[in-house]
Amino acid sequence: MKKLTLFLASILSTMLAVAQNNQTAYEDSDLFWFDKDGKYGYVDHSNKVVIPARFWYTDNFHEGLAAVEIEYNRWGFIDKTGKVVIPAKFDYATGFSEGLALVYLNDKYKYGYIDKTGKFVIQPIFDSGYIFMDGLALVIENGKTGFINKTGNWVITLQSDPEGDPGYFHEGLAYVPSRKNGQLKWGYINKTGELVIPYKFDNMGNFQEGVAPVKINGKWGYIDKTGNFVIPAKFDWAGEFSEGLAIVSSGDKYGYIDMAGNLVIPYKYDDAGNFHEGLASVAVGSKGGYIDKTGELVIPAKYTSNGKFVNGKARVEYNSEYFSIDRNGNRVR
């Protein structure tokens, strides 16, 4: 059963959000999980133990609560004091998103959604499920794929494809796949399920700040919500915009463009992250640091891993130790 729990943890953690490395802060989080003698607890920015290591497995805090494996193969939720607020009665649970959490019941082999009292507001009837974003969640039930609303009603039914999963809704649109002449292509639907941008792209990203990165004819560019290119497809890869800038690549190097498509930070980094609170994590060789919007490396590249800044602090790893730094690169104590 432990293998099943860890497998579900892996799959559902991937669903939850943008991929995050160990102990990276979420928007509402000032606590970070740690492990000791095979159990997990939480520390604060100064690495002071706030919740002792007593859980079998843990997730990050979302909307004030964290999903934790309280008993062996039994998950519930705790608050930031460590108090159990939803008892251990699920075989797996994700973090809360938009007031609801996706949970799994092994005796039914089904997923459903609970509120913050632990009550099922959408019964466990789904073969697979994702978190709510923009008021809708992607689910699969008896081979049927589509989106439900927060009452559990189906609002959009989609064709499924084993090689391409629909995306979350962002800014009112979600990318969806379809096959044209045997080739997988991508377009975008609105919240009524109407195809508002045709299936013509080879790859795609979410809409952020009014535009989305898409790939066509081997190159990436950006479209608006009408499907028109506002930045030509000329990049080897392109990411979503954040704080007015987006990561793009040329060969194996990364830089940043502005909303006009101008390269404002040259291709010189080995990896790059989105801007948050005016700073972005970048890699120089195998080490990570932070740049500002002029491209200046304001916090040296010396970390094994480094997360985004949230409320003026970022979680980093240095010499096999995790801790938090401030915007000047000083360790938080």
**DSSP annotation string for 31-79:** -EEEEETTEEEEE-TT--EEEEEEESEEEEEETTEEEEEEETTEEEEE-
Backbone angles phi, psi at 14, to 5 degrees: -65, -40
Domain count, the chain: 1
- Domain of residue 4 covers 1-133
Task: Using the predicted structure, report yes or no on whether residue 167 has a pLDDT greater than 90.
Answer: yes
Asked if residue 7 is part of any domain, the answer here is: yes
**What proportion of the chain, given as a percentage, has pLDDT over 70?**
91
Say if residues 93 and 100 touch (Cβ distance below 8 Å).
no
CA 134 – CA 312 distance, rounded (Å): 27
The CATH number assigned to the domain holding 4 equals: 2.40.128
Higher pLDDT, 115 or 28: 115
Backbone angles phi, psi at 211, to 5 degrees: -135, 160
Task: Please give the model's pTM, rounded to 2 decimal places.
Answer: 0.88
Asked if residue 210 is part of any domain, the answer here is: no
Mean pLDDT of the chain: 91
Asked if residue 264 is part of any domain, the answer here is: no
Asked if residue 41 is part of any domain, the answer here is: yes
User: Of the ranges 9-23, 106-120, 232-246, 284-298, which one carries the lowest mean pLDDT score?
Assistant: 9-23
Asked if residue 152 is part of any domain, the answer here is: no
How confident is the model at residue 309, as a pLDDT?
A: 95
Asked if residue 5 is part of any domain, the answer here is: yes
Asked if residue 83 is part of any domain, the answer here is: yes
Say if residues 273 and 282 touch (Cβ distance below 8 Å).
yes
How confident is the model at residue 165, as a pLDDT?
A: 86
Q: Where are the beta strands (DSSP E) in 143-191?
A: 144-148, 154-158, 174-180, 183-189
Banded model confidence at residue 28, pLDDT cuts 50, 70, 90: low
Question: Three-class SS of residue 4?
Answer: helix
CA 214 – CA 292 distance, rounded (Å): 26
pLDDT digits (tens, 9 = 90+) for 259-316: 999 999 999 999 999 999 999 999 999 999 999 999 999 999 999 999 999 999 999 9
Integer CA distances (angstroms), 168 to 45, 93, 206, 275, 285, in order: 31, 19, 8, 21, 33
> Closest Cα to residue 119, out of 132, 101, 138?
101
Asked if residue 113 is part of any domain, the answer here is: yes
CA 254 – CA 272 distance, rounded (Å): 6
Say if residues 246 and 237 touch (Cβ distance below 8 Å).
no
* CB environment 65-98: b (16+ within 10 A), e (fewer): bbbbbbeebbbbbbebebeeebebebbbbbbbbe
Residues 6+ apart with CB under 8 A from 239: 205, 213, 246, 247, 248, 274
